[in-house]
Amino acid sequence: MHDGCSGTFESGKQVVDKIRMMGFANQPMMVPLTIKCEECGEEFQMETYEYKCPGCGMVYGVTPCHAFDPANVMAAGKDY
């Protein structure tokens, strides 16, 4: 699924599963990212490695290794 910081993920669900398994899901990010929800278009600040869009409930995730760029954030699904 993932091999350190050099690995890649095929889906947002894999990202969220990994950060949940590693205990990072609710940890604050060093620098929050501004994300535009791909479902409803709402823009929000992603402050933890797993975050839910306040507008529609789409769940997003990013690993700590890749949390420097909003392009690395992946959607896992609504209420995932």
Those residues of the chain that have pLDDT short of 50 are 1-2
DSSP state of 15: H
**In what helix (H) or strand (E) does residue 23 lie, and over which residues does it extend?**
none
User: Model-level pTM?
Assistant: 0.91
What's the rounded Cα separation, in Å, for the pair 12 and 10? Answer: 7
User: Around Cβ 32, how many Cβ atoms within 10 Å?
Assistant: 14
Q: pLDDT tens, 49-70?
A: 999 999 999 999 999 999 999 9
71 residue type, one letter: A
Q: Give the structural domain span for 24.
A: 4-78
Domain count, the chain: 1
